[in-house]
Amino acid sequence: MKLTQRFYAALLFKGISIQIQRQQLFRALRLLFIFSLVAAAAWFLWQRQTRVFSRVGYLNGTLLNIYARIPGTLILYPLQPGQLLSKGQEIGRIENERNPQLETDRQNLETRLAVAQRQRQVLLQKRRSRQQLIAELSHYQQEQTRLEVRFAQEALQRALAELREAQEALTLARLEAERYSQLVRQGAVSQQRADEAVYNARQAEQVVKNKQAELRRYQTNLEAFRKGLQLDSARTFSFPQIRLIDLQIEVVNIEGQIAEVEATIAELKKEITNIKQQLALQRLARIQSPIRGVVWSVIHKSGTLGIPISAGDPVAKVLDCNDVWATALVAERENARLRVGQPAIVRLLDGSDRRISGWVRAIRGGPGKVVVGETVAVPPPDLVRNELAVDVTLNQLPPELSAQRFCGVGQSVEVVFDARS
């Protein structure tokens, strides 16, 4: 009986001890839970004070549209969205065998060129014939000058001979006048006869002076003839001289016309070359990728037979993976804590929890659509009132965001901005 009482007493004591331990454990757990809540709240408040979180975000990229440069038949090579293209890679061609307007312009220009070339040949032949006549007339003129010089030389020789005769007559007349003057003093002859002798000497002296003047005139004429001049009367040209002057003036005019025609020919050749280059470009235009990028979409699938297309029609869109950024929508009240160049962390929401570092490159705000000034893969959303759109440049794109995944463009992200600095 006593053993039974002792056993029950021990069980009761043990139960009370277990209950006390449980109470202490629950109390410790409640304290730990409260401490955890306080720590979480403190951490949350610290995060809110030192970080700015986006409400929503997505990855975006630049799209380049490839347009048809000429009208014709589009033959596009097989392309698939997500296909990686190298810069300059040919993705198709446009063929256009006929271009009536350019062909008509080319034919008209070639006709004008042929006419101008024939006109140049006529002018060149005309110039050659005039130059031959000039050479002949120049020979005639030289012969005429030679004859005139010879005539003047002969006249000069005659004048020189006459001068010498007059000088001899003057010497004789002076001797005779002196002799008669002596005879008059001797009384052998009359004074009248002496006066006649003196008069004859004076006349002979005057004749000498006249012959000397005539000699100088002939000398001047000879010099003038040698220079092609005429001094005896009003200047008159001979027929060869007149014709030579006319031909020289005509040759100058012909050379001016030849220069104009050659300038026209050069201009026509240049235009024809340009037309031929345009025809070559219009007949075949190769479509190439302007950048190293990813096929975003194919607007026209042509097949092997091709489809008609007009100049300026879009053919395909290429995504530039070298220009991928994140756009985050942030409450406008955080504007004071944001700035261009601020560090940011972009977290992918695809389950990988991958984080990409970056920096703020643009901040824009306002309700409604925003014109971003470039063709983007994901158009900007309608911004609600009191909300900002912040673009973040990514320092490095993760390898898993490959071309087959369009470099991650369009994926949802969360952007966290470091507001401590």
Cβ–Cβ < 8 Å for 231, 221: yes
Could you list the residue range(s) of the whole structural domain that residue 2 is in? 1-34
Is residue 224 one of the residues assigned to a domain? yes
Q: Are residues 118 and 17 in the same domain?
A: no
Overall domain count for the chain? 2
pLDDT band at 368 (very low <50, low <70, confident <90, very high): low
Give the pLDDT score at 234.
Answer: 46
Cβ–Cβ < 8 Å for 272, 134: no
Q: Are residues 29 and 106 in the same domain?
A: no
Q: Which of 210, 238, 265 is the last residue of a domain?
A: 265
**What CATH number is associated with residue 158?**
1.10.287
Higher pLDDT residue, 281 or 24?
24
Between 100-186 and 239-283, two packed helices, what is the crossing angle to 10 degrees? 160
Higher pLDDT residue, 202 or 50?
202
Is residue 350 one of the residues assigned to a domain? no
Is residue 158 one of the residues assigned to a domain? yes
Is residue 125 one of the residues assigned to a domain? yes
Higher pLDDT residue, 4 or 156?
156
Higher pLDDT residue, 371 or 142?
142
Residue 175 pLDDT exceeds 50: yes
Q: How large is the average pLDDT for residues 223-238? A: 60
- Burial grade of 401 (CB within 10 A; 0-12, 13-18, 19 or more): buried
Q: Are residues 134 and 12 in the same domain?
A: no
Which of 232, 212, 211 lies closest to 222, judged by CA?
A: 232
Higher pLDDT residue, 331 or 377?
331
Give the pLDDT score at 169.
Answer: 80
Q: Are residues 115 and 255 in the same domain?
A: yes
Cα separation of 95 and 98, whole Å?
9
Cβ–Cβ < 8 Å for 285, 88: no
Is residue 337 one of the residues assigned to a domain? no
Cα separation of 57 and 404, whole Å?
22
Q: Which residues pair with 61 in a beta bridge?
A: 324
Which of 54, 48, 52, 47 lies closest to 336, judged by CA?
A: 52
pTM exceeds 0.75 for this model? no
pLDDT band at 80 (very low <50, low <70, confident <90, very high): confident
Is residue 139 one of the residues assigned to a domain? yes
Average model confidence (pLDDT) for the chain? 78
Tell me phi and psi for residue 359, to 5 degrees: -150, 155
Is residue 189 one of the residues assigned to a domain? yes
| Tens-place pLDDT, residues 386-402 | 788 888 988 888 888 87
Cα separation of 345 and 367, whole Å?
25
| Tens-place pLDDT, residues 338-355 | 888 888 889 888 888 888
Give CA separation, 47 vs 37, 54, 358, in Å: 15, 13, 19
Cα separation of 216 and 160, whole Å?
10
Give the pLDDT score at 118.
Answer: 92
Least confident segment among 215-229, 289-303, 323-337:
215-229
| Tens-place pLDDT, residues 48-71 | 555 788 888 888 888 888 888 878
Cβ–Cβ < 8 Å for 279, 100: no
Residue 114 pLDDT exceeds 80: yes
Amino acid of residue 32: L
Q: Are residues 27 and 165 in the same domain?
A: no
Q: Which tokens go with 131? A: 């130059």
Q: How large is the average pLDDT for residues 185-189? A: 73
Cα separation of 22 and 28, whole Å?
10
